[in-house]
Structures are given as C-alpha cells and as structure tokens.
Chains A and B, each alone.
Chain A
Amino acid sequence: EAGVTQFPSHSVIEKGQTVTLRCDPISGHDNLYWYRRVMGKEIKFLLHFVKESKQDESGMPNNRFLAERTGGTYSTLKVQPAELEDSGVYFCASSRTGTAQPQHFGDGTRLSIL
C-alpha cells in the first residue's frame, strides 16, 4: 500500500506570506495527525482528525494555523501569516481506528521562513 505522502517536501517563504501544506494519508486510515519539529526541539503534536472531525487540536500553537480535512481524506495545514518561529519540519501521520494502531508517518515538509 502507498504510504503517507506530503507535499511540498520543502517550502521557502518570506515572513508574512501564506503557505499551505498537504497530507494524503494511507487509504482506509480514519485517523490523521499533524506534528512539527522546530530546530533542536522535540517533535510536537499539533492536532488529530478522525475522518473530517477535529478530535484534538490542543497542540495548535495559535490562530495563524488552520487545519482542514474536508471529506475525511487528505488534509491541509495553512499558516497565515507565517512568522520566523514557524520554521521547522511538519510531519503528517495516519492510523487505523482501534487499540494500539501505530501511526505511520510521511517524509515531512521542511518549512523555512525568511
């Protein structure tokens, strides 16, 4: 089966601009997660979708970040306006529903804000 795919792999934008990241989960996975790793820090949870619904968005840093998963398939994460501290690697993961279903990660999007 195809893995989790993320697009773009790398994005360089200027402070104040808008960027949209996309994640396509593994087919059949109802759970979709966004994480990010800021330079030198841990990988931090951002939010969790179950199908099209936000199950947990406790990790979203502020209202400049908007995640959507219309139709319960792919998801987008928009940052508007981007700030310097938003630079990092944004990972998407997906999993089946059920006890201890492991999360499978994409290769990540490296976001650089200049």
Chain B
Amino acid sequence: GEDVEQSLFLSVREGDSSVINCTYTDSSSTYLYWYKQEPGAGLQLLTYIFSNMDMKQDQRLTVLLNKKDKHLSLRIADTQTGDSAIYFCAESSNSGYALNFGKGTSLLVTP
C-alpha cells in the first residue's frame, strides 16, 4: 500500500515552535490531515489541507504542503505543555474515503 512516514519522537521546550514532518508516496493524495491523540483519548482532527493549497494557518497551527516533494509539515507556535500528544499525519485520495495514516509523532513539551 501507499506509505506515510513520520519521525517517531520530538521534544521541545515550552514556548518554542514545534515542527512535525510527514512524507507520503501516493501522488493521487488529495486531502491531507493532522490528527492529535492525547493519552487515553481518541483522534482529534486538528486541521486538513487540500492538495491544491500550499499553506493553511489556523491560530497557532500552520500547515505547509510541498506537493512536488510530497512533504507535509505541521508547525505549532508557542508550544505549551498541553500540546504534548501523538500527532498523526493522514492522507486520502480521490479514489476513496479511507484514510492512510503514519505511525504518529510523539511530541513532548518540557517546561
């Protein structure tokens, strides 16, 4: 199947910016998503971007998409301890509704 790759772990200091990266292989990916999972909870949709967009900003979150390199990133400005969680990158193509997930990046925010 198609692959979605993420680094597994990221540690930042409170107040710094966090950048979580994701690469994917499916050239027909149309929609790309970022989900957040806090301990013991489900997947919370953070934001999503269409493949015809380069950037999307929503408060402290900025998503950048480089479609040529099939690279997606999530930047969290002024990272807080409450942002500590697992962040999943996911993609879907026009051909179906199924989401294809990466393994998730564990973000640890230290005081």
Residues of A within 8 A of B (CB): 4, 6, 31, 33, 35, 40-45, 48, 55-56, 58-59, 91, 93, 95, 100, 102-108
Q: Is the CB of B101 within 8 A of A55?
A: no
Can you add 15 more A-B contacts, CB < 8 Å, to A105-B35, A105-B45? A33-B99, A35-B99, A42-B101, A43-B88, A43-B99, A44-B101, A45-B98, A45-B99, A56-B96, A58-B98, A93-B99, A100-B48, A102-B48, A105-B42, A107-B42
Q: Is the CB of A42 within 8 A of B103?
A: yes
Q: Is the CB of B50 within 8 A of A100?
A: yes
Residues on B with C-beta less than 8 A from A59 are 98
Could you tell me the distance between the alpha carbons of A55 and B20 in the complex, rounded to whole angstroms? 33
**Chain A interface secondary structure, helix, strand, loop or mixed?**
strand
Assuming A33-B98, A35-B99, A59-B98, is B45 touching A103 (CB within 8 A)? Answer: yes
Size of chain B's interface in residues, with CB distance under 8 A? 24
Q: How far is the CB of A88 from chain B (nearest CB, A)?
A: 13
Q: How far is the CB of B26 from chain A (nearest CB, A)?
A: 13
Q: How far is the CB of B20 from chain A (nearest CB, A)?
A: 16
Could you tell me the distance between the alpha carbons of A56 and B98 in the complex, rounded to whole angstroms? 8
Q: How far is the CB of A105 from chain B (nearest CB, A)?
A: 4
Residues of B within 8 A of A (CB): 4, 30-31, 33, 35, 40-45, 48, 50, 88, 90, 96-104
Assuming A102-B33, A105-B35, is B43 touching A91 (CB within 8 A)? Answer: yes
Residues on A with C-beta less than 8 A from B40 are 107
Assuming A4-B42, A103-B45, A108-B42, is B35 touching A56 (CB within 8 A)? Answer: no
